[in-house]
Amino acid sequence: MKVLRPTQPTSEQLTVINNHKPGVFVVRGAAGSGKTTTALYRLKFTVGFWQRRRRDGFLSGPVRVLVLTYNRTLRGYIEELTQEQLKGNDVELTISTFAKWATDRVAYERILQEHERSRKLDALAAPLPLSSEFVRSEVDYVLGRFTPDHLAEYVECERQGRGRSPRMLTPLRRRLLEEVIYPFQEWKKQQQAWDWSDLANAMAANRTDDPYHVVVVDEAQDFSANQVRAVLNHLTDEHTLTFVLDAAQRIYPQRFTWSEVGLSVGPHNSKLLSKNFRNTRQIAAFAAPLLEDVETTDDAAIPDLTSCTEEGDKPLLVEGTFTQQMDHVVQFLNDLGPDNDESVAILHAKGWFGEVKNRLNA
């Protein structure tokens, strides 16, 4: 994967970068707005602030820095950029996914395999008038948003970010809680096994590490409330915490409010980046109609596609069966030639991984 090198920050980005005051800061950025790069520039400045604090005798030991992201691909990208930004042997840097960070620090029996977890949830949910897929997703939502001793709050809570269908009225929520979630929690104990929500809970309940002075959480829209609570539990009393997010790019139904995890976020400690640097004018024109009905919330940002200045080829639409589409992809790759250094990504719906791998291997 080729890493995009940081460019000269814009005036919009500098308002984020130069704000290195202790406390929480939220960077809301539309797709292609450079929010991750901006946050990493800010990381450099905030670490410098803490290095000066150390030299002035206000803290002993190294400046402890944690950069968390949601998946391994992003971790690799951020790791390369961050190593360039931070210098000095007085900095102890950890770059990780949340899952890796937690599993390295918590003693647990084993994590349930996805097929085990699904099979049990499907069996428990069989009497409910809900699809198995929805139940699994809703259980993830409940166990990610509420701590184990507050699961009952799900029955009456405002159901953030879960859409209008199916309607989850109070009686059905109670049945889900009593017939599925509580028995599932008990079953895990009997199996001496955890799922990913238990890791977040363990990290939120117990400090497993020396606390961090500086933390950056990238793609924070896909972190659950309990994962955020886990991060908060591992901060020094005085700290610099940066969340980078765009709710319009949320992949998982993890929505919660800042106040319910104990944070106050407003205009004084947040910034919206809207200018789009990633796309050409042609891609922007193609994408604009697709964004018209995207749900927007306080933490969502729709890119300002009118700000795109680069020129490029028009996107090409390929009609046909999936096999015909892959014929085109393979031909495209062959036409690039062996000396071309372009990076190529293939994005597709679930279920086609095997076919794509077979064609690429062939």
| Each residue's pLDDT tens digit, 203-246 | 999 998 899 999 999 888 889 999 999 999 999 999 999 998 87
The SS3 call for residue 93 is strand
* Among 144-148, 255-259, 300-304, the range of highest mean pLDDT: 144-148
Which pLDDT score is estimated for 299? Answer: 53
Which pLDDT score is estimated for 251? Answer: 52
- The pLDDT of residue 167 is above 70: yes
Comparing 228 with 85, which gets the higher pLDDT? 228
Which pLDDT score is estimated for 168? Answer: 86
Q: What residue type is assigned to position 40 of the chain?
A: L
Residue 145's nearest CA partner among 158, 164, 134 is: 158
Residue 87 banded pLDDT, cuts 50, 70, 90: low
Residue 173 banded pLDDT, cuts 50, 70, 90: very high
Residue 193's nearest CA partner among 113, 139, 123 is: 113
- The pLDDT of residue 84 is above 70: no
R_g of the chain, CA atoms, integer Å: 23
Residue 353 banded pLDDT, cuts 50, 70, 90: confident
| Separation of alpha carbons 239 and 168, rounded Å | 39
Eight-class DSSP state of 346: -
Distances (CA, A) of 142 to 132, 197, 255: 15, 10, 10
Share of the chain above pLDDT 90, in %: 44
The SS3 call for residue 156 is coil
| Separation of alpha carbons 48 and 43, rounded Å | 8
Q: 29: how many CB neighbours lie within 10 A of its CB?
A: 26
- The pLDDT of residue 253 is above 90: no
Which pLDDT score is estimated for 8? Answer: 76
Give the position of tokens 């924070």.
220
Residue 172 banded pLDDT, cuts 50, 70, 90: very high
- The pLDDT of residue 162 is above 70: no
Is residue 279 within 8 Å of residue 308, measured between CB atoms?
A: yes
Q: What residue type is assigned to position 178 of the chain?
A: E
Q: What residue type is assigned to position 269 of the chain?
A: N
CA atoms within 13 A on the CB side of 276: 22
Helices 132-145 & 114-125 angle (0-180, nearest 10)? 110
Q: What is the mean pLDDT of residues 37-59?
A: 86
| Strand-by-strand arrangement of the 212-217 sheet | 91-97, 63-69, 212-217, 235-245, 23-29, 270-273
Q: What residue type is assigned to position 349 of the chain?
A: A
* Among 7-21, 45-59, 247-261, 301-315, the range of highest mean pLDDT: 45-59
Q: 254 Cβ partners below 8 Å, 6+ apart? A: 141, 144, 145, 161, 221, 222, 223, 224, 225
pTM (predicted TM-score): 0.80
State residue 133 phi and psi, 5-degree precision: -65, -40
- The pLDDT of residue 298 is above 60: no
- The pLDDT of residue 98 is above 60: yes
Which pLDDT score is estimated for 160? Answer: 61
Mean pLDDT of the chain: 85
Share of the chain above pLDDT 70, in %: 86
Which pLDDT score is estimated for 77? Answer: 66
Is residue 43 within 8 Å of residue 16, measured between CB atoms?
A: no
Beta bridge partners of 68: 96, 217
Is residue 27 within 8 Å of residue 242, measured between CB atoms?
A: yes
Domains and CATH numbers, the chain: 11-105+199-273 (3.40.50.300), 114-193 (no CATH), 316-362 (no CATH)
- The pLDDT of residue 81 is above 80: no
Residue 6 banded pLDDT, cuts 50, 70, 90: low
C-alpha distance across the termini of the chain, in Å:
22
Residue 282 banded pLDDT, cuts 50, 70, 90: confident
Segments of 247-352 assigned E as strands: 270-273
